[in-house]
Amino acid sequence: MSKYAVIGYGVVGSGTVELFEKNRDSITNKIGRDVKLGYILDLRDFPDSPYGNIHTKDFNDILNDPEVEAVAEVIGGIHPSFEFTKQLLQKGKSVVTSNKELVAQKGAELFEVARKNNANYLFEASVGGGIPIIRPLHKCLAGNKIEQISGILNGTTNFILTKMIKDQMSFSDALRLAQENGFAEADPTADIEGHDACRKICILASLALGKQIYPEDAYCEGISKITPEDVEYARNAGYKIKLIGSAYPTEGGKLSVTVCPRLIPEDNLLSHVDGVYNAISVTGNGVGDVVFYGQGAGKLPTASAVVGDLIDALLHRERPLTVSWEKSDGENLISDYKQSKTAAFIKVSVKGDADEARESISKTFDHPMFIERQNRPDSEVAFITAPMKEILIDQKLGLLDENIEILNLIRVL
Ligand code: HSE
């Protein structure tokens, strides 16, 4: 009898078991044989679980059972996920995962272990929750040169920003709601500070380039500095603020890979992607623009991608799928983001005369667009610059009078 196992019985793990067992009949037809739920590994007790004797706290139960063919690793983090995954692959068992941290950091190494041991290592759930993006990018768009990938890659921050924009909710109330809904990471800092979105854009960039792109090499900024006042300024100028991950080749032959909040014009599709939804836009030199849209986090949407991978792994046990990239250790693949061109929303606080400050800003930035908001204090000035290299924006800010203090800078898409 063939078995599958699940490591981690949190939101995604319990969703995986629920979806697989709910759709067992159709899944069995697709695989062409019966595959039983063999083990659920978690250190916690689940006294009310209907899968009583299947729960285990011992990883060796899964590792040493020759009937286990495919394992869903959904615990997240690097350790012990890496060690578990490596050992399972070395035994020829396929592993599927939603663990973007592990794939973004150790993907190339684990693909090699999988290849050597004739096993699948699949990670559709690691980017975009339930949205199919890994296979389409790797297979269906394989005939294209990828010119850019960009989008909203984190459900929690998009949920928070949507609540701030639409319901005037505070940042902390919106975060609490996202956590209650099971969207956020165990430590939501990874969501709020952009690290989760950064891991995801690095996975997509690695796939497009064929080489490992490490998150620590990319520019990453989260949404924790965004205030309700910024949201209001953006609205008054015809924009919404979204956390955007983006990757594209630059002239120097390197990749620009960034994650940061951006002002999105209201006529841009991404500005209408709300709540926990993610949207990923890909441009290929044959296909043009394609957009992938769906629920980017949550129990059953993420489980949908994990179960899809389990089915594929069980179907391809003889000839594993190769959705992968190579190692890149020591290579410098990422360009300096300061050389990229962008317009920027800038909010400053003025100690002296606000009119004089506006004049100085106008001269330095060559006709910026000043923006208003209700109840703006006299000492606050906000404006949007023309597009220019970021390094030039820095230089111009450095030229402003010392009575002008920079409060926030948000790039414009
Ligand atoms: N915390 C992640 C998010 C979960 O909010 O998008 C899905 O990767």
**Confidence bin at 383 (pLDDT 50/70/90):** very high
Taking the C-alpha atoms of residue 107 and residue 324, their distance in angstroms, rounded to an integer, is: 8
* Catalytic positions, written as ranges: 200
Residue identified by tokens 């973007």 is 100
- Average pLDDT of span 115-121: 98
What are the structure tokens assigned to 274, written together? 């709300």
- Average pLDDT of span 55-63: 98
**Confidence bin at 191 (pLDDT 50/70/90):** very high
Q: Which residue's alpha carbon is nearest to atom 4 within ligand 1?
A: 297
329 pLDDT above the threshold of 90: no
Ramachandran bin of 319, using left for φ above 0, alpha for ψ from -120 to 50, beta for the remaining angles: beta
Atom of ligand 1 nearest to the CA of 156: 5
Q: Which fold has domain 134-295?
A: Dihydrodipicolinate Reductase; domain 2 (3.30.360)
* pLDDT for position 252: 85
- Average pLDDT of span 167-181: 92
Are 303 and 16 within 8 A, CB to CB?
yes
- Average pLDDT of span 243-257: 95
142 pLDDT above the threshold of 90: yes
* pLDDT for position 299: 97
Atom of ligand 1 nearest to the CA of 126: 8
**Confidence bin at 280 (pLDDT 50/70/90):** very high
Are 334 and 254 within 8 A, CB to CB?
yes
**Ligand 1 pocket, 158 CB below 6 A?**
no
Pairing of strands 380-384, 341-350: antiparallel
What are the structure tokens assigned to 290, written together? 């394609």
**Confidence bin at 401 (pLDDT 50/70/90):** confident
Are 157 and 131 within 8 A, CB to CB?
no
Are 377 and 316 within 8 A, CB to CB?
no
User: Mean pLDDT across the chain, nearest whole number?
Assistant: 97
* pLDDT for position 72: 99
Q: Where are the domains of the chain?
A: 2-129+300-315, 134-295, 338-412
Query: 80 CA to middle of ligand 1, Å?
Result: 20
* pLDDT for position 358: 95
411 pLDDT above the threshold of 90: yes
Taking the C-alpha atoms of residue 189 and residue 186, their distance in angstroms, rounded to an integer, is: 9
- pLDDT single digits (tens) 343-353: 999 999 999 89
373 pLDDT above the threshold of 90: yes
CA 80, distance to chain mean position in Å, is 22
What distances in angstroms separate CA 355 from CA 299, 349, 359, 405, one per listed residue?
53, 12, 6, 15
Residue identified by tokens 């979105």 is 197
CA 198, distance to chain mean position in Å, is 6
**Confidence bin at 61 (pLDDT 50/70/90):** very high
Q: Which fold has domain 2-129+300-315?
A: Rossmann fold (3.40.50)
Atom of ligand 1 nearest to the CA of 154: 6
Single out the residue of 193, 198, 155 nearest to residue 177, CA to CA. 155
- pLDDT single digits (tens) 192-204: 999 999 999 999 9
**Confidence bin at 220 (pLDDT 50/70/90):** very high
- Average pLDDT of span 388-396: 98
**Confidence bin at 251 (pLDDT 50/70/90):** confident
What distances in angstroms separate CA 357 from CA 230, 354, 364, 381, 386, one per listed residue?
19, 5, 11, 8, 18
- Average pLDDT of span 121-148: 98
Query: 185 CA to middle of ligand 1, Å?
Result: 6
Q: Which fold has domain 338-412?
A: Alpha-Beta Plaits (3.30.70)
DSSP class per residue in 148-192:
EEEEE--HHHHHHHHHHHHS---HHHHHHHHHHTT-S-SSTHHHH
Single out the residue of 97, 100, 153, 104 nearest to residue 123, CA to CA. 97
**Confidence bin at 400 (pLDDT 50/70/90):** very high
377 pLDDT above the threshold of 90: yes
**Confidence bin at 317 (pLDDT 50/70/90):** very high
